[in-house]
């Protein structure tokens, strides 16, 4: 391919599978390879597994073969800088009118031995507790994308303190800032926002995440629940793009949601966690404004509506876990489906709260604003809005790492969390 000629799309899939999902990461790479590249759609991938990492460009008009590959040996795919370098390797080699980046991550990301090693590095001379990694590997707050985030959370000397940080704020505070920084660096280098950012990782369809990406990515596709180990059906998704290279980014985002949901409707996963949403990041500020207005109304009426908000959380959890017959997720419900909360507040709050909740729901309708498409499998997810928001239940409070987020600095949501917690004093 003549690199002077722009492709329509260049799409890079970053597969961080140096964990117990190695076989699934290799499977995803094979699917992408089997689609292959064309002059108009260039597919590249990074794969990190136990034996080492590699960069690949899928064969142009030769599916199943590599156009080029670069073996990297031992590679730290758990650092934001590694994501940036790998993505730019492909984007600068194959310039295009539109760029897509898909981050394929375990979500949990780290085996116990790796956690213990990072703990030793973080605490230097302090000995690591041999059981700490095993406890963290099954803890509800284990969803981290980057090794540097994990290291930062392990630095405090008190294990109790570390556990609080790890549970409350990991994937949606420190991680969100690192993710946004990496995507911003990539967009600056290619001199345009990413047309599509896909998160083939757990729990990333989140309002705080989407808000942080403003200006660096145009469309986001992610799941607010867990992602099955099989991950996205890349064969169907990339084949459709290959066959329609002029596809607009918004249509590509909708297609991913449609193919993801169709695949898991036909092949239901054991856990039942199947949700997907396509977001127009450039319109997420409309949701941010509506959430801010809802927060203001709740603060003004917290004396009467704290119980209403608490019941909304209780009812949402009961619905989505089928009254605890399925495993909870969303950081053990530190994250809440925004549509479900708003729907219950619209039905039970004081007039001002009902009006703001109704307005938020209107802005979350599919195709009516920021939410391009939402899909799910399972009736227990019927009525969800497609993305979550951070709202610890009292007596728990917000992570100290929440405050730097753009969403936190531009809305009254942190003040709402404080008023909500104060409405239910301990004891």
Strand ranges (E), 74-192: 96-105
pLDDT for residue 107 = 44
Q: How far is CA 170 from CA 39, 178, 317, 391, in A?
A: 41, 11, 21, 14
HSE (side-chain half, CA atoms, 13 Å) at 27: 9
pLDDT for residue 78 = 72
178 lies in the same domain as 309:
no
Domain for residue 234, yes or no?
yes
| Cβ–Cβ under 8 Å, residues 80 and 98 | no
| Cβ–Cβ under 8 Å, residues 338 and 364 | yes
Measured at the CA of 346, the angle between CA 381 and CA 416, to 5 degrees, comes to: 95
328 lies in the same domain as 211:
no
**Structure tokens that stand for 278 in this block:** 């396509």
| Cβ–Cβ under 8 Å, residues 371 and 390 | no
pLDDT for residue 331 = 56
Residue 341 has pLDDT above 50, yes or no: yes
Domain for residue 136, yes or no?
no
Among the residue ranges 296-300, 330-334, 354-358, the one predicted with the least confidence is 330-334
Domain for residue 361, yes or no?
yes
Split at pLDDT 50, 70, 90, the class of 268 is very high
Domain for residue 123, yes or no?
no
Domain for residue 203, yes or no?
yes
Q: Could you say which of 282, 299, 326 is where a domain stops?
A: 282
Residue 110 has pLDDT above 50, yes or no: no
Q: What share of the chain is helix, strand, coil (3-state, %, to 5)?
A: 50, 20, 35
Q: How far is CA 223 from CA 32, 276, 278, in A?
A: 21, 4, 9
Domain for residue 152, yes or no?
no
Task: Tell me the average pLDDT across 277-302.
Answer: 98
Phi, psi of 278 (to 5 degrees): -110, 125
223 lies in the same domain as 323:
no
Domain for residue 159, yes or no?
no
Strand-strand pairing, 217-222 and 274-280: antiparallel
78 lies in the same domain as 177:
yes
Structural domains of the chain, count: 2
**Rounded-to-integer distance, Cα 416 and Cα 356, Å:** 14
User: Across-strand partners of 60?
Assistant: 37
pLDDT for residue 140 = 40
Q: What is the pTM of this model?
A: 0.88
Measured on CA atoms in the order 164, 169, 174, 175, is the torsion positive or negative? positive
Tens digit of each residue's pLDDT (9 = 90 or more) over 210-233: 999 999 999 999 999 888 888 999
Q: Which domain holds residue 243?
A: 7-108+172-282
274 lies in the same domain as 335:
no
302 lies in the same domain as 357:
yes
Domain for residue 59, yes or no?
yes
Residue 139 has pLDDT above 50, yes or no: no
Q: Could you say which of 223, 250, 282 is where a domain stops?
A: 282
Closest CA to 234 of 401, 20, 7, 11: 11
**Structure tokens that stand for 207 in this block:** 């309002």
Q: Could you say which of 257, 282, 307 is where a domain stops?
A: 282
331 lies in the same domain as 346:
yes
230 lies in the same domain as 289:
no
Helices (DSSP H) in 16-63: which residue ranges?
Answer: 22-35
Closest CA to 116 of 100, 96, 89, 135: 135
331 lies in the same domain as 267:
no
For residue 24, what is the domain's CATH number? Answer: 3.40.50.11970
Task: Tell me the average pLDDT across 302-329.
Answer: 90
234 lies in the same domain as 249:
yes
Task: Tell me the average pLDDT across 243-264.
Answer: 98
Alpha-carbon Rg for the chain in angstroms: 21
CA of residue 138 relative to chain centroid, distance: 19
Q: How far is CA 12 from CA 92, 108, 199, 303, in A?
A: 12, 22, 12, 50
Measured on CA atoms in the order 318, 169, 172, 107, is the torsion positive or negative? negative
**Rounded-to-integer distance, Cα 155 and Cα 162, Å:** 8
201 lies in the same domain as 317:
no
pLDDT for residue 37 = 97
User: Across-strand partners of 104?
Assistant: 15, 200
Per the document, the length of the chain is 427
pLDDT for residue 324 = 80
Phi, psi of 280 (to 5 degrees): -85, 100
**Rounded-to-integer distance, Cα 198 and Cα 278, Å:** 9
192 lies in the same domain as 60:
yes
Tens digit of each residue's pLDDT (9 = 90 or more) over 78-101: 778 889 999 999 999 999 999 999
Tokens 């949701």 correspond to 287
Residue 134 has pLDDT above 80, yes or no: no
Q: Which residue has the higher pLDDT, 182 or 117?
A: 182
């Amino acid at each position: 391919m003549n690199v002077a000629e722009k492709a329509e799309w260049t799409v890079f899939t970053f597969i961080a599978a140096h964990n117990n999902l190695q076989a699934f990461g290799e499977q995803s790479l094979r699917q992408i390879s089997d689609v292959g590249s064309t002059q108009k759609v260039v597919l590249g991938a990074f794969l990190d597994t136990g034996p080492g990492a590699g960069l690949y460009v899928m064969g142009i008009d030769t599916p199943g073969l590599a156009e080029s590959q670069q073996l990297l040996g031992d590679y730290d795919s758990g650092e934001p800088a590694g994501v940036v370098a790998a993505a730019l390797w492909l984007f600068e080699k194959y310039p295009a009118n539109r760029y897509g980046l898909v981050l394929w991550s375990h979500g949990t990301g780290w085996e116990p031995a790796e956690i213990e090693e990072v703990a030793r590095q973080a605490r230097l001379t302090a000995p690591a507790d041999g059981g700490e990694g095993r406890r963290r590997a099954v803890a509800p707050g284990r969803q981290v994308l980057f090794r540097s985030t994990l290291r930062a959370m392990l630095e405090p000397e008190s294990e109790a303190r570390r556990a609080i940080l790890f549970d409350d704020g990991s994937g949606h505070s420190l991680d969100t800032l690192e993710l946004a920084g990496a995507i911003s660096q990539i967009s600056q280098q290619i001199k345009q926002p990413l047309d599509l950012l896909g998160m083939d990782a757990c729990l990333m369809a989140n309002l705080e995440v989407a808000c942080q990406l403003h200006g660096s990515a145009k469309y986001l596709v992610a799941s607010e629940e867990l992602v099955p180990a099989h991950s996205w059906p890349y064969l169907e998704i990339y084949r459709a793009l290959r066959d329609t290279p002029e596809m607009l980014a918004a249509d590509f985002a909708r297609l991913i949601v449609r193919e993801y949901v169709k695949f898991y409707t036909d092949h239901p996963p054991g856990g039942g966690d199947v949700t997907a949403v396509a977001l127009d990041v450039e319109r997420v500020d409309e949701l941010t404004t509506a959430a801010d207005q809802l927060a203001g109304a709740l603060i003004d009426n917290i004396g009467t509506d704290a119980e209403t908000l608490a019941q909304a959380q209780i009812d949402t959890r009961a619905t989505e876990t089928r009254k605890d017959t399925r495993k909870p997720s969303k950081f053990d419900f530190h994250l809440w489906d925004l549509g479900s909360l708003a729907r219950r507040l619209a039905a039970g709050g004081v007039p001002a709260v009902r009006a703001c909740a109704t307005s938020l729901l209107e802005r979350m309708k599919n195709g009516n604003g920021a939410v391009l498409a939402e899909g799910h499998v399972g009736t227990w997810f019927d009525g969800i809005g497609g993305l979550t928001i951070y709202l610890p239940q009292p007596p728990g409070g917000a992570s100290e790492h929440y405050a730097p987020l753009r969403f936190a600095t531009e809305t009254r949501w942190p003040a709402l969390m404080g008023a909500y917690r104060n409405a239910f004093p301990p004891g």
